[in-house]
Amino acid sequence: MKLVILILLSLTAAIGLAMFAMEDPGYVVLSREPYTVRLPLALFILFALAAFAILYLLINFIFSLFAAPKKIGKWNKGRKEMSAQQHTMKGFAGLIEGEWSQAEGNLLTKLDHNNAALMNYLGAAYAAQQQGQIERRNQHLETALKAHPNQELAIKLTRARMQYQAGELADARAQLEYLRLSAPKSVAVARLLSDVYQQLGDWPALVNLMPALGKMKAFPDEEFAARQKLALENHIEAPALLQGDGTRIEETFKALPRKSKKEAAALGSYARQLVRSGENQRAETVLRKSLNKNWNEDLLAVYGATETTHVKDQIKLVETWAAKHDKKESPAYKLAMARLLQRNDQPEESRDLYAAVVQETGSAEAISELGELLEQMGDSESALLAYKQGVRALGGGSALAPAISQPDTQLIALDGSADSSVAESTMPVVADAVVEASIEEKPA
């Protein structure tokens, strides 16, 4: 389009010049003794324009000759960058497809002409690890760190993540703890460090890290609560703490972060450890103070298992808490009451509550305790059934869940047989057996 416009303008100018020359051609005289040249004005203008164009092209050509090496260099550089980009694309495609050797080779090709060489080194390190070449992986990461020292956090975090995946937990821990000091606000570092602590079973370290994880919002609320509960329970309920008279348990609990001491998981674990070490009264006090402030079903279940000399007062307290929070239909309330009533020499009421819990939740713990109660009451057949169902519940047996959730369903052959012709191997679920036992109860 520009060329067409230029041609049209040139033609217009030529026509105008011709018309001007026809009306008054004029002359230009160039004289230098002994020579004199006389030219029409129009012809002189054409010659002048032609000379200007030739001179312009000549000067442009000369400058182009001087600029040629630089232009050739840019072109060559662009060609190499394009080739490096193609190798990078092939390398990452190889990572996706699991072609580790090819991916590593492509990612390390023509890195001098790659503007994103850091990603290539990290990808090559991952490919080397997938091939079991740990030393080569470390070399790639070291090269990346030397080439990009300002990206230390990203490179060392990647190294720690690869070490974690490769099972090098001690090395990953050392790397991440160093990064925590240099980048305390990094969510990625804190998250991965919590995974390493959990994998190592270093519950005290994980408990101390939890407050920072909470402030960072490092995990969704539900996941954070589950992780914190796991850490607190495993830390406080460590088998080593059971040795002694409870002093170590007290010290462990006091060493917890202040906020963690108020968590239900910590209080429940602390109380369970006190019960195991024979400190029932202290456990009852801890649980009572907490439940007076806030309803918590896990703590209530532990409270029901805490044996004291004033069980009647415990029963009244549990009833008061449940009425206050409208939780008298809660399985946790029924389980706690069943335990307390059993110790208060009210076996029939306790049995009915245990049966209700089993019917509603299928809890292996409730089934086991129900079996013990039935055995104490002399109902050995129902007790045996309860024990067997408890074993199935702990082992994840498929027969238990439908039996508990559907009261009318019959529990098939506890020995695994599905032969319906054997009448003795087909029995009702525990809850139904207990109800029948209560109706046909033999006098003591």
What integer pLDDT is reported at residue 376 of this predicted model? 82
What would the pLDDT profile of 51-70 be if each residue is shown by its tens digit? 888 888 888 888 887 877 77
Q: Kindly state whether residue 354 falls inside one of the protein's structural domains.
A: yes
What integer pLDDT is reported at residue 216 of this predicted model? 92
Q: Kindly state whether residue 428 falls inside one of the protein's structural domains.
A: yes
Q: Kindly state whether residue 444 falls inside one of the protein's structural domains.
A: yes
Q: Is the pTM of this model over 0.85?
A: no
Q: Kindly state whether residue 2 falls inside one of the protein's structural domains.
A: no
What integer pLDDT is reported at residue 402 of this predicted model? 32
What would the pLDDT profile of 238-278 be if each residue is shown by its tens digit? 765 555 455 678 888 888 888 888 888 888 888 888 888 88
What integer pLDDT is reported at residue 400 of this predicted model? 32
Domain that holds residue 367: 346-444
The tokens describing 22, both together, are 């026809």
What 3-state DSSP class applies to 427? strand
The tokens describing 439, both together, are 């109706």
Q: Kindly state whether residue 364 falls inside one of the protein's structural domains.
A: yes
**Distance in angstroms between the alpha carbons of the first and the last residue of the chain:** 114
Q: Counting every residue, how long is the chain?
A: 444
Q: Which residues of the chain have pLDDT under 50?
A: 244, 396-444
What integer pLDDT is reported at residue 390 of this predicted model? 62
What integer pLDDT is reported at residue 358 of this predicted model? 85
Neighbours of 397 (CB within 10 A): 15
Q: Kindly state whether residue 76 falls inside one of the protein's structural domains.
A: no
The tokens describing 387, both together, are 């024990």
Neighbours of 71 (CB within 10 A): 10
Q: Kindly state whether residue 367 falls inside one of the protein's structural domains.
A: yes
Q: Kindly state whether residue 410 falls inside one of the protein's structural domains.
A: yes
Number of folded domains that form the chain: 1
